[in-house]
Amino acid sequence: MERIVSAENVRARWAYSELLSDRPYGDPSLQALKKKALERVPFEDLSAEERGLLAQAWYPVRGVPTFIHGFAGITTFQLADWSKEQLATSYAIPYFAHEIGAYETPVTFKQWIEAEPIRPIEPGHARYAASGSAPSTQGEPLIVGRLSRLPTLLDGYHRAVRFWKRGEPNATLAVYVPRDALGGA
């Protein structure tokens, strides 16, 4: 996996990871890519044209303001290995913060996962993803962008929750972070 990638590449990887989910990636031009995903063809083996198609397919499915703003101003991401402490200090998207009654103030991942929801949420929700083993460090990286200039977890909540609750104390998890957040260009 490349250590430094474009924001477009990160969006394409995100879309590829969801092609077989219930997300509405219904564009007929994606059928060959869905077949590759079903056959577990690695993202790295996709052509530049296929990656471009996936990056564009991301917008109608995930292009809501939270995620568009989370990518704003970010041109490159760097793959980093995060500890639980680093994950704890990243922020939750507003949608999840609202579940615990935080409507005005951003909340960290740790605050979000340790708080009780203010109303019932469905059993398949990310906060209940601790069943099963801790995610592999070789799996899809989490994606951290920026909202209100704060490092915010955009994608990978199920993996993050499993890591938080089931990962070994010194374990790390792969995360794409804005490159300038690490002192890069």
Q: Does the pLDDT at position 79 exceed 70?
A: yes
Mean pLDDT of the chain: 90
Q: CB-based contacts of 100: which residues, under 8 Å, 6+ apart?
A: 107, 111, 112, 115, 116, 117, 118
- Would you state the pLDDT for residue 103? 92
Per-residue model confidence as pLDDT tens digits over 20-64 = 988 999 999 999 999 999 999 999 999 999 999 999 999 999 999
Contact 60, 15 (CB under 8 A): no
Interstrand relation of 142-147 and 4-6 (parallel, antiparallel or unpaired): unpaired
pLDDT grade for 122, boundaries at 50, 70 and 90: confident
Question: How is residue 134 annotated by DSSP?
Answer: P
Burial of 69 (0-12, 13-18, 19+ CB in 10 A): middle
Instruction: For the chain, give every domain's residue range.
Output: 4-63, 67-182
The C-alpha atoms of residue 115 and residue 90 are separated, in whole angstroms, by 15
